[in-house]
């Protein structure tokens, strides 16, 4: 149980385009989902926390107009990188916390974004 | 501001050795501490989660301990195998928050 998927697993796009990444909890309902970014040889940095049906809470220094997060259902959250630039190239990982309680987060497999 | 440190950044050992991976954190007001494994280009696999009230957790060849007052945790890997090669990440969850703060990880290579 507690499986989280991400789609796509990798994406290459041109500078200036927008990219949408999906995060799904497959076998549980997730009240809260988290989006992280990981640069090479760096740790995961939390970008934002999203609760189903409400606006996401962004970490300091993360542009909310650039990284659009939608958590429309208890099993799906999306991250849209708008007007992507090469410096947005990174590994994006989502995690989900279930309704059942407890604070454990279950992580997705990640999405590798390369902006040319 | 919570900071999580993992030293060394990389370790290479021969197969069969017993290993100790270290993690330290600056703010002892944590809710739990978690150890993860990350394979190259992949997501995170949770290995062990220790609640703040616990001293250790065990799973198979893995044992994690927590000393909250000194801000330290260790992950012990017994009889290491080449399949244990990966990056190991330590993360703490602050009390009263859902946020996880990660260390930079330690890249482990177990040579056959």
H/E/C letters for each residue in A64-94? CCCEEEEEEECCEEEEEECCCCHHHCEEEEE
Q: What's the average model confidence in pLDDT over B51-77? A: 95
Local confidence band at A76 (pLDDT 50, 70, 90 cut-offs) = very high
Which residue on chain A is closest to B50 by alpha carbon? A104
Q: What's the average model confidence in pLDDT over B81-107? A: 92
With CB atoms and an 8 Å threshold, state whether A103 touches B98.
Answer: yes
Q: What is the DSSP letter of A59?
A: P
Per-residue pLDDT tens for B43-61? 899 999 999 999 999 999 9
More confident of the two residues B97 and B106: B106
Please determine, for residue A1, whether its predicted confidence score (pLDDT) is greater than 90: no
Which residue on chain B is closest to A103 by alpha carbon? B98
Beta-sheet strands, E only, within A1-116 = 4-7, 10-13, 19-25, 30-38, 44-51, 57-58, 67-73, 76-81, 90-98, 106-107, 111-115
Displacement of CA B20 from its chain's centroid (Å):
10
Share of chain A above pLDDT 90, in %: 71
Asked if residues B75 and B21 have their Cβ atoms less than 8 Å apart, the reply is yes
For chain A, the straight-line distance linking the first and the last C-alpha, in angstroms and rounded, comes to 37
Instruction: Map residue B13 onto helix, strand or coil.
Output: strand
* A93 → closest Cβ in B31, B32, B43: B43
Per-residue pLDDT tens for A82-103? 999 999 999 999 999 876 656 6
Q: In chain A, which residues have their Cβ closer than 8 Å to the Cβ of B4?
A: 43
Q: For residues A67 and A8, what is the distance between their CA atoms, to the nearest angstrom?
A: 17
Asked if residues A15 and A116 have their Cβ atoms less than 8 Å apart, the reply is yes
Residue with tokens 């796509």, as numbered in its chain: A8
With CB atoms and an 8 Å threshold, state whether B89 touches A112.
Answer: no
Smallest CA–CA distance, residue A35 to chain B, in Å, is: 11
Local confidence band at B109 (pLDDT 50, 70, 90 cut-offs) = very high
Interface test with B, best of A11, A107, A112 (most B CBs within 10 A): A107
Residue A2: per-residue pLDDT: 81
């Amino acid at each position: 149980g507690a499986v989280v998927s991400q789609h796509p697993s990798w994406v290459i796009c041109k500078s200036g385009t927008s990219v949408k990444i999906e995060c799904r909890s497959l076998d549980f309902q997730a009240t809260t989902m988290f989006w992280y970014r990981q640069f090479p040889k760096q740790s995961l940095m939390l970008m934002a926390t999203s609760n189903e049906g409400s606006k996401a809470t962004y970490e300091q220094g993360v542009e909310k107009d650039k990284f659009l997060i939608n958590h429309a259902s208890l099993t799906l959250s999306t991250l849209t990188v708008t007007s992507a630039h090469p410096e947005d190239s990174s590994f994006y990982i989502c995690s989900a916390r279930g309704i059942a309680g407890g604070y454990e987060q279950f992580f997705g497999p990640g999405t590798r974004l390369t902006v040319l | 501001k919570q900071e999580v440190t993992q030293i060394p950044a990389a370790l290479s050992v021969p197969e069969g050795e017993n290993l100790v991976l270290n993690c330290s954190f600056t703010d002892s007001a944590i809710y739990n501490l978690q150890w993860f494994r990350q394979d190259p280009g992949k997501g995170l696999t949770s290995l062990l989660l220790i609640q703040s009230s616990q001293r250790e957790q065990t799973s198979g060849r893995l044992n994690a301990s927590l000393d909250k007052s000194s801000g330290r945790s260790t992950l012990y890997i017994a009889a290491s195998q080449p399949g244990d090669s990966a990056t190991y990440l330590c993360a703490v969850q602050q009390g009263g928050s859902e946020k996880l703060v990660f260390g930079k990880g330690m890249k482990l290579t177990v040579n056959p």
